[in-house]
Amino acid sequence: MNDDITRLDAGTSASQTSHSNGRALWVGSIAAAAVVVAGGALTLYVGGSNKVQAAPTKAPIVSVSAPLQRDIETRIGFLGQFSPVKNVELRAQVGGTLKQINFKDGDIVREGEVLFVIDPEPYEITLSKAQAQLESATARLELAGRELTRAETLKNTDAGTQQNVEQRLAEKRAAQAAVNDAKAQIRDARFDLERTRVKAPFTGRIGTHQVSAGNIIAGSRAANGPTTLLATIVSMDPIYLNFDMSEADYMRFQQQRAKEKGPLANKIELSLNGESKYDRQGTLDFIDNTLDRSSGTIHARATIRNPDLALTPGGFARIRLAVSSPEPSLLVPDASVIADQSEHIVLTVGKDDIVTPKKVEVGDLRGGLRVVRSGLAATDQVVIDGVPLAAPGSKIAPQPGSIKFAEQD
């Protein structure tokens, strides 16, 4: 009985072993037919054979195009700040009680417009006194004239003396001087009376009033005494745009201008803060005569027309200044330019569709494209789409692409 059990166990074990070996052989056959990816190639193992067959992967598809050719001028960019051409503090030239304020804070006021009125009554009284003095002096002058005529008549008839004539002549001259003094007093009184009405010296935007009606105003003609600040006014059209050039940019500006055969208009383009378009223009009309030793910059200024009064003193704008006439240039998409530390690389496709990097010198952006100053030929095929797939030295599948220039830039 025990022998039978032993034979049965032995048979069962043999059967299980045979089944396991068969399953292992089947799994091994499947595994032997697996595809393994290694080194960018497909390696196929067939059955239990040691024979290996390699299948290369497809080359990545990228878009290529020749650089776009355009006539582009050399230009440099700056950040500038607006300032008024005229900036005046309105101060009274005569003192008195402030009676009227004829504007709202922040208004655009016109040249000659009455802004403040100081109580004119004291100055009207002074003018009246000066006019009365003129009438009195005129009367004395007329009397002195008649007495001089009489004295000359008596002398001619030997009834008078030369001394009497000279005395009457002196009296007439004194009376004439009194008339002249009275006229000067009238002009002086009228001048003060007119200055009780403070007018806008030019058209511009006025700030907030610094005094209120009813306050006592201190005034001085020569501003050598205490005066009261009434308000400030700034001109708006035209307006200045101030900026600083670095020494390198200034030298480049000078060198490029020296190369020009004809005069190059000192035109600038500007873009307001927050805008992308350079749709305003101005004229560079001033460059300082010395460099600032502390900052290494030189001050420059442009004048901008501002008829819509959209430009405000104190605001900022980006500036583009052309330093040479337009000349043929190459442009590529900015994404096609790879920054490599201090250098720039553009990937090109050469013979046999092999990717070849080229070191280039780049300029600024034009029409959404990057200007290439050197290092690239007009016939080169540049990778413009799929740059991450184009490894230097690898083979790619190029397809024609196009480069577009954004005219609004």
234 in Cβ contact with 314 (< 8 Å): no
- The predicted pLDDT at position 22 comes to 40
Number of residues assigned to the chain: 409
CA distance 361 to 384: 17
Q: What is the pLDDT of residue 275?
A: 75
For the chain (409 residues), the mean pLDDT of every run of 10, in chain order, is: 40 40 36 34 44 65 92 86 95 93 95 96 95 94 89 80 86 92 95 95 95 92 82 95 92 79 71 81 91 93 93 92 83 91 90 91 86 91 91 90 79
b/e sequence 294-333, b meaning 16+ C-beta within 10 Å? eeebbbbbbbbebeeeebebeeebbbbbbbbeeeebbbbb
Could you give the maximum distance between any two Cα atoms of the chain, in Å?
Answer: 199
pTM, entire model = 0.66
**Domain 63-72+329-400, classified CATH 2.40.420.20, yes or no:** yes
Cβ(344)–Cβ(337) under 8 Å? yes
User: What values do phi and psi take at 371, rounded to 5?
Assistant: -75, 130
What pLDDT does residue 12 have? 41
**75-85+237-322 and 89-232 in the same fold:** no
Percent of the chain beyond pLDDT 90? Answer: 54
- Is the omega angle on the peptide bond into residue 238 within 30 degrees of 0, that is, cis? yes
Residue that is written with structure tokens 């290996």 in the block: 52
pLDDT for res 6: 39
- Per-residue burial over 253-285, b = 16 or more CB atoms within 10 Å of its CB, e = otherwise: beebeeeeeeeeebebbbbbeeeeebebebbbe
- Distance from C-alpha of 4 to C-alpha of 322, rounded to nearest angstrom: 109
DSSP at 219: -
Are 303 and 285 in contact, with CB atoms under 8 Å apart?
yes
Crossing angle of helices 162-194 and 121-156, in 10° steps, is 160
* Span 268-279, pLDDT tens digits: 889 987 777 888
Residue 153 CA neighbour count, 13 Å, CB half:
6
Please enumerate in sequence order all residues whose Cβ is within 8 A of that of 199, keeping only pairs 6 or more positions apart, or say none: 112, 113, 114, 115
Q: Which CATH class is domain 89-232?
A: mainly beta
Which pLDDT does position 261 carry in this prediction?
57
Q: What distance in Å separates the CA atoms of residue 254 and residue 264, rounded to the nearest whole number?
A: 12
**CATH architecture assigned to 75-85+237-322:** Beta Barrel (2.40)
Domain boundaries of the chain, sorted by first residue? 2-56, 63-72+329-400, 75-85+237-322, 89-232
- Dig out the tokens for 38 from the structure: 């290694």
- Per-residue pLDDT tens digits for 83-96: 999 999 999 999 99
Pairwise CA distance, residues 108 & 207, whole Å: 9
